Amino acid sequence: AGLIAVGKHGTVIKSVDGNNWQQAQSVPTQVLLTAVEFTNDSNGWACGHDATIINTTDGGENWQLQQAKLSLDKPC
């Protein structure tokens, strides 16, 4: 378990204690990410501008692109 934060330029950071943060290894987008939600310790989803949706199955280390619709230019 831990903490996950998302933000500008596709930034995803993780922390186990709230004091020390590490950037995710692989994030396939550079849009502003605005929300993140996990269903358990491994599986999570993040979304952001341009209707971008990414997911992880390894607790937030690596992310895969599920959707990006640049023509919408709207946050999720």
| d(C-alpha 23, C-alpha 44), whole Å | 16
Predicted confidence at residue 27, as pLDDT, reads 97
Predicted confidence at residue 76, as pLDDT, reads 60
Predicted confidence at residue 44, as pLDDT, reads 97
What is the DSSP annotation of 3-18? EEEE-GGG-EEEESSS
Residue 74 has pLDDT above 80, yes or no: no
- Mind listing the pLDDT tens digit for each residue in 53-65? 999 999 999 999 9
